[in-house]
Amino acid sequence: MKTIAIVGGGITGLCALYEMEKQARAQQQDVQFILIEKQQTVGGKLKTVYTDEWAMETGADSIVARHPGVLSFVKELGMESELVYNETGISYIHTNDELHGIPLNSTFGIPMSVESLMASTLISDEGKARALQDVTTPNTTFTKDHSIGEFLEFCFGEELVKKQIAPVLSGVYSGNLYELSIASTIPYLIDYKNEYGSIIKGFEANREKFEKANDKKFISFKGGLSSFMTRIEQSLTKTEVIKGVELELLEKKGTQYALYLSNCDIRYVDHVVLTTPHDVTRRFFRDDALSPYFDNFRNGSAITLYVGYDVPDAVLPADGTGFIVSHNSSLQCNACTWTSRKWKHTSKHAKLLVRLFYKDVHPRYEEFKAMSDEQLIAVAKQDIATSLHVTDEPALAHVTKWIDQMPRYDLAHRQTRDALVAKLAEHYPNVTLAGCSFYGVGVGACMQNGRDVATHVISTIS
């Protein structure tokens, strides 16, 4: 009987286990599974915090519904009746101390039609004229390994990128667009440019696909994302789940691996799947030859605050779900989600709940990082008063700090990952890397990565 250990009980590890159990049953394979999770609960960065009035997601607040396999997996788990979809409405950019609506028929701030471009109140007539060159200028230089910022600026010009696209896209990918590759962000943009001669024409040719996905893009659950994690864990019938225990060392022993755990236990396994962040994963190896590879990975940071008020959600601007902050704004935050508006299930009595993001791309970030929770809450209150004109004393404030815990996909990321994977295959066969540090930052991407890893590992078992 083969033994497979999965290290890390976040969404990637749980989905990998679920799929491996499923495939092992279908193929009648005698396999033992072990999950090692250092926390007392599974879920990793996906965690729901509850109060009597509000539900708050301290990590991602949702899953992209259109990502392949997401909704079918929810159905397979029997959680369809627990699904909730986001409320739709205008997303704004805060610039020059005003809220400007991001034009409809755009994605990540990128216009999907000429009409969407012309409707923007963020871009000058000169900027719009420059952006139209996308329709006539072919790509002869860029590949998916190039900077997404440089590519978009080549297509649309500096003004549209900096005033409308960069605030949105940098917020999603937590990084400088000029240091992120096309492959690690929106790879289909260059396919559109090459195939149709224009990103806008590519969107128009694929209009039906995007229109179907435009409304109700995101899902959560009545019990929050933690309930989704719990349901996956409860569905595991062939897995020994070890929680509150860390892996301290991974050591090759012939054709097997010895896993030295923090509770002084040693487990011998045939396959290991490491879903932990890269800076955690490197500590499992006592191998200096791997250090140059791990040294090239980068993490970002973010601080998020939920602020709840004993006032109705209706005080917010009509038909809005939040805003992203442009570089020429007096606000200190990078973005603000109107959580009680976007997710009705998060407030029992429709009271105002907002979430603010302070990311390490902000010039004052090091100052924010050194602040106490009370000081951060004071900054958040000022941002809310300035942007939403709500000056009431909050009924709730909740701070979460993700310091050096947000994977950053810079231009060297894919090359570094592939080199590390090749090195491990040579010296540590049957040790597999997975998770958001290596294969995608969205929840849907992590779910897919878990399924892909499961298929690969099960296929190697004889």
100-124: pLDDT as tens digits: 888 888 888 999 999 999 999 999 9
CA dist., res. 281 & res. 279, Å (int): 6
Q: Check pLDDT > 70 for residue 214.
A: no
Look at residue 457 and give its three-state secondary structure.
helix
Average pLDDT, stretch 353-358? 97
Look at residue 124 and give its three-state secondary structure.
coil
* Burial class for 352, CB neighbours closer than 10 Å (0-12, 13-18, 19+): buried
Quick count: other Cβ atoms within 10 Å of Cβ 412? 15
Which helix (H) or strand (E) segment holds residue 91: the answer is strand 90-95
288-331: pLDDT as tens digits: 999 999 999 989 899 999 999 999 999 988 788 999 998 788 99
Quick count: other Cβ atoms within 10 Å of Cβ 300? 21
Could you tell me if 155 and 387 are in contact, meaning their C-beta atoms sit under 8 angstroms apart? no
Structural domains of the chain, ranges and CATH numbers in brackets: 2-41+227-296+412-459 (3.50.50.60), 102-212 (1.10.3110.10), 298-408 (3.90.660.20)
Could you tell me if 149 and 180 are in contact, meaning their C-beta atoms sit under 8 angstroms apart? yes
- pTM of the predicted structure, to 2 decimals: 0.89
Q: Check pLDDT > 70 for residue 216.
A: no
Phi, psi of 326 (to 5 degrees): -80, 170
CA dist., res. 269 & res. 430, Å (int): 10
Q: Check pLDDT > 90 for residue 55.
A: yes
Confidence of residue 462 (pLDDT cuts 50, 70, 90): low
